[in-house]
Amino acid sequence: MTLIRSLVLAVVLAAAANAVAQERPYFVTYSHEMEEPGNLEIESFNVMGQPPGGSLFLGSTLEFEYGVKAWWTSEFYLDGQSTQNDSTIFTGFRWENRFRPLLSEHLINPVLYIEYENTSADKSLREIVGHDGVPDLLEPNGEARADVERELELKLILGTNRHGWNISENFIGEKNLEGEPWEFGYAWAVSRPLRLAASPRPCTFCLEKFQAGVEMYGGLGDTESLSLHNTSHYIGPTINWTAPANFTLSFSPQFGLNDYSVPHLYRFGISYEIDQFLSRLRKGQ
């Protein structure tokens, strides 16, 4: 009974707090929207799946996204994964920066993305490039860990906001710094809040707090074989809820579109936004 009361109290307190984050419900695709300057967003994105002939896995990413300027967002990622009948391991880190060259809204808004990553045995599937597919997910963790990938990743992010809809497209180029060819990939997504106008009264489950859409992504081969042969592709509906107390919860079931893809992926995420992080830190709040 005490536990239930505590839970109810927690929900009521949370509902009384401000909701700030207004994130797009995307897991792979980046929109052109930057983190607000001074805000820190802590996010956990997870993907669960089972490749044919392989074991169930859970890939996780912990992300720290900071708005350096209104036109510059920086993000640091820690990756890990757990595979059934195998092991749970830390798989590496990434650091990316996004820059918005045009300082006002246009019909199509470009953002330049540059990332360095140092990972091995990664199963977070935060992007699909080249010939990524089922075979990569069948390798035992012990063997996969030996292959440390130090990669540079570039993205051109294009985004449009019109009539409540967001349309985002990403073109991805990834280069293993140890002499492998450039690999390419794509991602696109579209979403919209379920209601465009805000309610005049505070509410937790009103429709404008939910955003729904569709996301699709996949590989485009590499400089040695620029084709769709042996590439994986996924598509799925996606939804998020801007919860009270600066939390956002996201979910997306995604479906592999060919035999080279995992048949089903389940993605879920939670994020928490801290307004004016450094100011709070200085004030000791």
Partner 1 sequence: MTHISTLTSGHRPRRALLAILALSLSAFAVANGAWLTKVPARDHDRQNPYRGQQDAINAGHLIFIDHCAQCHGQDALGTKKRPPLRSERVQQQATEGDLHWLLFNGNMKKGMPSWAKLPDQQIWQLVTYVKSLGVAGPPQNGETQR
Binding residues (CB under 8 A) for partner 1: these are 18-20, 22, 24, 31, 33-34, 36-39, 67, 69-71, 100, 103-105, 161, 163-164, 166, 193, 196-202, 208, 275-276
Q: Answer whether 190's CB lies under 8 Å from 170's CB.
A: no
Torsion sign over Cα 31, 276, 10, 200: negative
Least Å from the CB of residue 164 to partner 1: 4
Using CA atoms, how far apart are residues 134 and 51, in angstroms rounded to an integer? Answer: 6
Least CB distance to partner 1 at residue 212 (A):
14
HSE-CB at 9 with a 13 A cutoff on CA atoms is 6
Shortest Cβ 128–partner 1 spacing (Å): 26
Q: Measured from the CB atom, is 68 or 152 closer to partner 1?
A: 68
CB of 241 to partner 1, least distance (A): 15
Query: Please, which residue, 34 or 128, has the CB nearer to partner 1?
Result: 34
Instruction: State which residue, 75 or 183, has the beta carbon closest to partner 1.
Output: 75
The set of residues, in sequence order, having a beta carbon less than 8 Å from that of 200 and lying 6+ positions away, is none
Complex with partner 1: residue 138 or 207, whichever CB lies closer? 207
Integer distance in angstroms from the first to the last C-alpha of the chain? 33
Q: Can you tell me the distance from the alpha carbon of 283 to that of 285, in angstroms, rounded to the nearest whole number?
A: 6
